[in-house]
Structure 1
């Protein structure tokens, strides 16, 4: 499956939208949803409305971390692979977070407009504002982080790959629900990585304290807003088949891009061909509490029709882990809204 193939199918679907588009003057909420054969009125189901009304606003925090002082070239326990994998993830965030922000904002007008849905719209709007604030803060912090990586001689290619794909998506699949479906998929990835970062101490064991703080703060906030894009997608009439199609494409692109950028980082770091580097890779992905086998079952649950980010059943729950961490480190950040 390629991006162009999925985007091409989406383009055909968007052409169908144009053929059925209302007369000039009709708003976007009067158009059909993503797939004409499965489109329904854009009404959230009862679970979505109940979840939105129970949700609390998302606080926006200013983290007290001093990236201007720099950090070690192998800040993660002296291990080249671990360090450069996490560095690669950071390189994707500024462009990625902005895409998520834009996707959520652009989908808000698709919410059902009847007076009976006023409470749902209000709650999702508040959640959207918190989501945007948190993601904007992450984008800023990782911009500072990436500036230090540039000083270390690393080259960020992932940001260019991401921009090119976003431009292609906007050209071939301009309907806002396509970008939102891709955002839901990426948010599922980040939620799983966030949960693992908080749940499994070995993922950051031995890392410099400031870097542990940064990554776990980011993880806690990703956990807090893990269901915002998904709830909006459901409420706006998002289609299951397109949710899965974009998820499969995101899986492919994320796996490929994260490895390409990690390998590029290792090349510039001068550690690409050391046997110890690849032993570290095996440990990170397949060792005790390895990323692959700790995240794969939950990753694949996204394919279920009844999947919802808030219905994951680990103990303690992801939200509980995040709130416990935030409470324990409240002195390292300031709530600004």
Structure 2
């Protein structure tokens, strides 16, 4: 694979004075207690919103580990030279952030099991990863998939951070967990993409794997949510479907706000940090840093 576009050097959109890392990324340990669990309908009593977010959480431990592996494997292909020093540092911080996400969502998912929910998504994802490895898929392909999923999660993070009323009725601990995750996804959203270009990944495979990620994410998130609602006993309640319709297609529905950013990935000149039409304080990075600053007592900086 050779690059069909000019590689984009990794650099934070704006300096992050709170980070000691040259890359601007910070590894944090979330200080919330999930040992006592949380309500079945922790999202303000709404079954659909609770079970949809639960479904997303179910994908994270396996997903985050696969992202860590892909980035670590491809970083080995990048020379240890001064011009790549910042990217190597960003990779190390990316791995640290993803490892903390994997851990906290592992605790989250363990409580979901006590509520009678069954995590099938982790097995679907593991089976696909194992199949690709058996077929001899190259590290660069796993990295392209990682870059694609990182864009999907960054778009969802942008929606969550940009709409203050999102999660407003949820359990405060869960609000903190999801907003912290969104803020860190925003911070490291360009790492896998920049590494993909640095090791000569090309546009054609970037787009092929993005289409794959879009289809698989849509299918898996849908069927895991339905499975959660089935075990929850709320699948056939009219209020469940009304909530889903409002979340995706309502006046402030997620689809209206995420479609444009999702399609932007198809541009040849796309880069995750492009936010040309928003002032710095209104850009997603600015929103993420504001939330992290205002909620600094919710986490401990590791490095």
Match of 1:295 among 254, 258, 269: 258
Q: Tell me the residue number matched to 1:131.
A: 94
Cα distance, 1:336 vs structure 2: 1.2
d(CA) in 2 for partners of 1:243, 1:274: 40
Q: Tell me the residue number matched to 1:78.
A: 45
Question: SS of the counterpart of 2:276?
Answer: coil
For the pair shown, the structure with the greater C-alpha radius of gyration is 1
d(CA) in 2 for partners of 1:155, 1:50: 41
Q: Is the 8 A contact 1:200 1:289 kept in 2?
A: no
Tell me if 1:185 matches 2:157. no
Q: Tell me the residue number matched to 1:329.
A: 295
Cα distance, 1:202 vs structure 2: 3.0
Tell me if 1:230 matches 2:193. yes
Cα distance, 1:301 vs structure 2: 0.4
> What do the CA deviations read for 1:119-151 (whole angstroms, capped 9, x no partner)?
232111110110000000000000000001000
Where in structure 2 are the equivalents of 1:1-337 lying within 5 Å? 34=1, 39=2, 45=6, 47-48=8-9, 56-111=23-78, 113=79, 118-313=81-276, 315=278, 316-337=282-303
Q: Is the 8 A contact 1:202 1:289 kept in 2?
A: no
Cα distance, 1:332 vs structure 2: 1.0
Question: SS of the counterpart of 1:213?
Answer: helix
Q: How does the TM-score come out when normalised to structure 2?
A: 0.93
Cα distance, 1:51 vs structure 2: 6.4
Question: SS of the counterpart of 1:67?
Answer: coil
Q: Tell me the residue number matched to 2:19.
A: none
Q: How does the TM-score come out when normalised to structure 1?
A: 0.83
Cα distance, 1:40 vs structure 2: 5.8
Q: Is the 8 A contact 2:44 2:169 kept in 1?
A: yes
d(CA) in 1 for partners of 2:233, 2:243: 15
Change in CA separation of 1:262 and 1:325 when aligned onto 2, cut-off 3 Å? same
Q: What RMSD in Å do the two structures reach over aligned CA positions?
A: 1.9
Change in CA separation of 1:49 and 1:324 when aligned onto 2, cut-off 3 Å? closer
Question: SS of the counterpart of 2:300?
Answer: strand
Q: Which aligned runs of 4 or more in structure 1 are off by greater than 6 angstroms?
A: none
Cα distance, 1:174 vs structure 2: 2.3
Q: Is the 8 A contact 2:3 2:201 kept in 1?
A: no
Cα distance, 1:46 vs structure 2: 6.5
d(CA) in 2 for partners of 1:331, 1:205: 19
Q: Is the 8 A contact 2:71 2:143 kept in 1?
A: yes
Change in CA separation of 1:173 and 1:298 when aligned onto 2, cut-off 3 Å? farther
Cα distance, 1:313 vs structure 2: 3.3
Q: Is the 8 A contact 1:45 1:235 kept in 2?
A: no
Question: SS of the counterpart of 1:312?
Answer: coil
> What do the CA deviations read for 1:176-210 (whole angstroms, capped 9, x no partner)?
11000000000000001111111112321211111
d(CA) in 2 for partners of 1:268, 1:216: 27
Change in CA separation of 1:45 and 1:66 when aligned onto 2, cut-off 3 Å? same
Cα distance, 1:168 vs structure 2: 1.5
d(CA) in 1 for partners of 2:182, 2:112: 20
Q: Is the 8 A contact 1:108 1:125 kept in 2?
A: yes
